[in-house]
């Protein structure tokens, strides 16, 4: 009889490889990212963010009339309650060093006090709240950024898209066609990603039958981490460090080899699901490079450096970039302050979160997994 070596159990820490529920919203696998039946490259090429948001929140592709009504409703909901505007300005004045994600999380919590549907978890109320949260995000982000710069808030323009308004509310300048398009595509790419850490957080909170605002606050807290949404900020900060080293005489390869030797974690690379490359990364890199070439040629050097670093990672570690890697370069080329990268992620992903919160509320069972205890055996206190 031949002895066999037992198979090494899979590493399931962090629920790796385990399904924890069903959803009709999104499918993520090695080769595709699908929103309600539509593949991400198809959406990035042919849809607008408003169409994608309607698809996620309502459940189907909008007709022309449905889309027109949806956009008109969002335009009306973009203006913040005066108390919320003052709150954002106060935070910028009194806590200017606070991370914008902390400010945004607090703003959503405060916004719940002014939402008449806050405690109503019905499907109808959920959709109304989702639209309000989606519509106000660009205004919240812009109001905070301008307050940090000592500037007055911008009144949203009802004639601009969600993406264009985000840029307008931050800068006070109506963006050009290419800038609005690049931002629109980035929002589409970030809108949804099944049971990622922040979405799962929102579903856990929703499963207690808590309200949508509380669930979104929790999701923002999860997204803030550098291993999740904050990776786009960290990736750009890493590239800036490499750029400085290169300007001081070191090559990108030398910097990378030192990082490998010291086992430094390199941000913007690798993905729990996409082992052969993140489908979104190439799409956003292409649009970001297009923006740099047409609108800000001096920023092309970041994409050249980014391509070098990416090639080294693939050559030496066989690790591909994720979408956060080109996001950092793209937003930097557009002149967006690095601390606002992850709040912009929220302006997109809030649509996916709200879709999941509504789905959880519609067919709920409290999410309560078991834990494997590895502590001390039973013992007596008086021994």
Note whether 153 and 172 are within 8 A (CB): no
Taking the C-alpha atoms of residue 82 and residue 93, their distance in angstroms, rounded to an integer, is 17
Rg (CA), the chain: 22
| Residue 3 pLDDT class (50, 70, 90 cuts) | very low
What are the structural domains, with CATH classification, of the chain? 26-225+346-362 (1.10.580.10), 231-333 (1.10.230.10)
pLDDT cut 90: percent of the chain above it: 85
Compute the mean pLDDT over every residue in the chain, rounded to the nearest whole number. Answer: 93
Across residues 180-197, what is the average pLDDT? 96
Across residues 321-340, what is the average pLDDT? 93
Copy the structure tokens of residue 128. Answer: 């109304």
| Residue 173 pLDDT class (50, 70, 90 cuts) | very high
Across residues 284-311, what is the average pLDDT? 95
| Residue 310 pLDDT class (50, 70, 90 cuts) | very high
**pLDDT at residue 292, as a whole number:** 96
Most confident residue range from 1-15, 120-134, 221-235: 120-134
**pLDDT at residue 14, as a whole number:** 75
Query: Quick check: helix, strand or coil at residue 286?
Result: helix
Note whether 216 and 110 are within 8 A (CB): no
| Residue 208 pLDDT class (50, 70, 90 cuts) | very high
* Planar angle of CA 323, 329, 332, nearest 5 degrees: 130
- Strand (E) or helix (H) holding 136: helix 123-148
pLDDT cut 70: percent of the chain above it: 97
pLDDT above 70 (res 4): no
| Residue 9 pLDDT class (50, 70, 90 cuts) | low
Place of tokens 């929220």: 346
pLDDT above 50 (res 6): no
pLDDT above 90 (res 356): yes
**Tens of pLDDT, residues 52-81:** 999 999 999 999 999 999 999 999 999 999
pLDDT above 70 (res 45): yes
Beta bridge partners of 28: 33
pLDDT above 50 (res 278): yes
Note whether 146 and 172 are within 8 A (CB): yes
Asked whether the CA dihedral 336, 341, 344, 348 is positive or negative, the reply is positive
- 23-37, 273-287, 326-340: the lowest-pLDDT one: 273-287
Across residues 138-154, what is the average pLDDT? 97
pLDDT above 80 (res 277): no
**pLDDT at residue 178, as a whole number:** 97
| Residue 160 pLDDT class (50, 70, 90 cuts) | very high
Residues recognised as catalytic: 228, 271, 324
**pLDDT at residue 172, as a whole number:** 95
Note whether 115 and 127 are within 8 A (CB): no
């Amino acid at each position: 009889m031949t002895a066999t070596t037992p198979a090494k159990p899979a590493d399931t820490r962090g629920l790796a490889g385990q399904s924890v529920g069903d959803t009709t919203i999104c499918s993520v696998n090695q080769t595709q990212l699908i929103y309600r039946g539509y593949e991400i490259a198809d959406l990035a090429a042919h849809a607008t963010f408003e169409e994608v948001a309607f698809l996620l929140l309502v459940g189907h592709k909008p007709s022309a009339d449905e889309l027109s009504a949806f956009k008109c409703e969002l335009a009306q909901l973009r203006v913040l309650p005066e108390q919320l505007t003052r709150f954002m300005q106060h935070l910028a004045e009194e806590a200017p060093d606070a991370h914008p994600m902390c400010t945004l999380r607090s703003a959503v919590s405060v916004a719940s006090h002014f939402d008449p549907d806050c405690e109503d978890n019905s499907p109808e109320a959920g959709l109304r709240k989702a639209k309000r949260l989606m519509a106000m995000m660009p205004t919240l982000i812009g109001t905070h950024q301008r307050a940090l710069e000592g500037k007055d808030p911008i009144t949203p323009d009802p004639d601009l898209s969600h993406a264009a308004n985000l840029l307008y509310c931050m800068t006070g300048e109506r963006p050009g066609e290419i800038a609005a398009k690049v931002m629109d595509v980035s929002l589409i790419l970030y809108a949804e990603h099944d049971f990622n850490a922040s979405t799962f957080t929102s579903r856990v909170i929703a499963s207690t039958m808590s309200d949508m605002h509380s669930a979104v606050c929790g999701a923002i807290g999860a997204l803030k981490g550098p291993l999740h949404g904050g990776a786009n900020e960290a990736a750009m900060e890493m590239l800036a460090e490499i750029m400085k080293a290169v300007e001081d005489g070191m090559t990108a390869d030398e910097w990378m080899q030192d990082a490998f030797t010291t086992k430094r974690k390199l941000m913007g690379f690798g993905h729990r699901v996409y082992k052969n490359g993140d489908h979104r990364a190439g799409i956003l890199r292409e649009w970001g490079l297009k923006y740099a070439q047409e609108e800000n040629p001096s920023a092309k050097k970041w994409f050249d450096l980014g391509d070098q670093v990416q090639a080294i990672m693939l050559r030496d570690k066989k690790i591909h970039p994720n979408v956060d890697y080109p996001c950092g370069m793209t937003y930097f080329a557009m002149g967006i302050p690095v601390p606002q990268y992850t709040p912009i992620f929220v302006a997109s992903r809030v649509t996916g979160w709200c879709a999941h919160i509504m789905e959880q509320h519609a067919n709920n069972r409290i999410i309560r997994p078991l834990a494997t205890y590895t502590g001390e055996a039973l013992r007596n206190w008086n021994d």
